[in-house]
Amino acid sequence: MPRPTGNVRLKAARVAAGFNSQQDLADALTQHAREMGIRGLSIGVRQVRRWESDNPPWPQPDCQRVLVHLLGQSMEALGFTPPWGSDGPYPDPLRRALVTGGATALGLTAMPGRTAAAPQPPTAGVDFQAVTRSHRRLYWSVTPTQLHPAVVAHATLGCALLPETMDSTRRTVAAALAETYLLAGRIEFFDLREPNTANDTLLLALQAAGEADDPLLGSAVIAHMAFVPGWVADRDGALERMTAARTYARRASASAEFLAWLDAVEAECETRCGNTRTALHLISHAEDVLAVGNEHPSPEWMDWFSPARLAAFKGNTQMIAGHLPQARESLLEALASMTPAEDKQRSVVYGDLAAVEAASGNPEQACEYAGKALDQLSVTWYATGMDRVREVRRALTPHQHERCVRDLDDRLYDWSMTLSALSR
């Protein structure tokens, strides 16, 4: 007889629970989510079909909780393969507990090998949060490979503290833990170029934000998760995450700045998917949102966006769309508006200006901007900035025998820059 195909474990659990069709299970999961107090979760038959396929995707945290609670089995017993690996940056038992158990595993159960500890004093939340804030500021100046281990260690401490806190202290620790995981995920994605690891880390950030009941922080995490499919031109995956991010932002009465940033994130994903016209419409909407404003303040942890950053987003999209004069204007505006705290982003803007000049047939000007990007990278390393310089160098191939391009090569491939690039 032919061997069964698909996720036979989930199929068996579904039938054993009395759900004869995939639609029956989808309806039951949606209803059960409401009964568990999980707001806004709707599971369709298409999602159940994917879970019962040969290679079922690892469900989102809220879906995991409902599946386990309704069917009475662990995720592994239901045929799902966890996304973590034994060589990842987090201890395997910790990652397993965090990812599979949702909010409960973030603090309501003891870790293997640990005994119950006395409750932490209220100052523990403030102290843990203070280190999180320091890491946030250090991101803009410290080498990513040096900062990342400290951020991960701080997250591990937060996971240990959370079961020992209560009430407002618990929410403070959970929110700071979510921000810490968000920072780790940002470093992994933008600086270390590890998108799969970043996606796993951002899932942990989302679970911690749920434990803190902080929908705005949850929205920020999900929007960052949209970059992962967006970067590989998976438009459906990116838009699905952006829809979720906007839903969480509505629950939190987000600031105009935050809403404009969501537009900018979606615009970058659309640009990566080749839809520059849609991206430019989104950026125009973001500019209108910032101009009108609203009464809601931005959270202190949102230090990655400003009108100058929006102008940089705009310039990059205009450049890719072939609107070179407009791109040059937008990028120069971004450069002029950036504060010293935004120096890390300058390498990206210089790189885009170099690309504009290369596309305009101005190799000397392109090399000058690329050199300025390398100057900035020697001070504050940023993998995204180096990617821009490499793209410019490829665009300058027709001019590679010119003196300015050969001088750029001497800088791009000197000992320090080569080692910096290859060691990351």
At 418 the pLDDT is 57
pLDDT at residue 93, rounded to an integer: 38
Distance separating alpha carbons of residues 193 and 100, to the nearest angstrom: 25
pLDDT number for residue 244: 92
Question: pTM for this one?
Answer: 0.72
pLDDT along the chain (424 residues), means of 10: 70 86 93 82 89 86 85 84 49 40 40 53 94 96 91 93 90 96 95 88 91 94 95 93 94 94 97 96 97 93 95 96 97 94 91 97 96 92 90 94 94 67 50
Q: Cα 372–145–409 angle (5° rounding)?
A: 30
Q: CB–CB of 135/153 below 8 Å?
A: no
- The pLDDT assigned to 403 comes to 95
**Amino acid at the residue 397:** T
Candidates 173, 164, 181, 159; CA nearest to 128 is: 173
Q: Which of 201, 206, 226, 207 is nearest to 88 (CA)?
A: 201
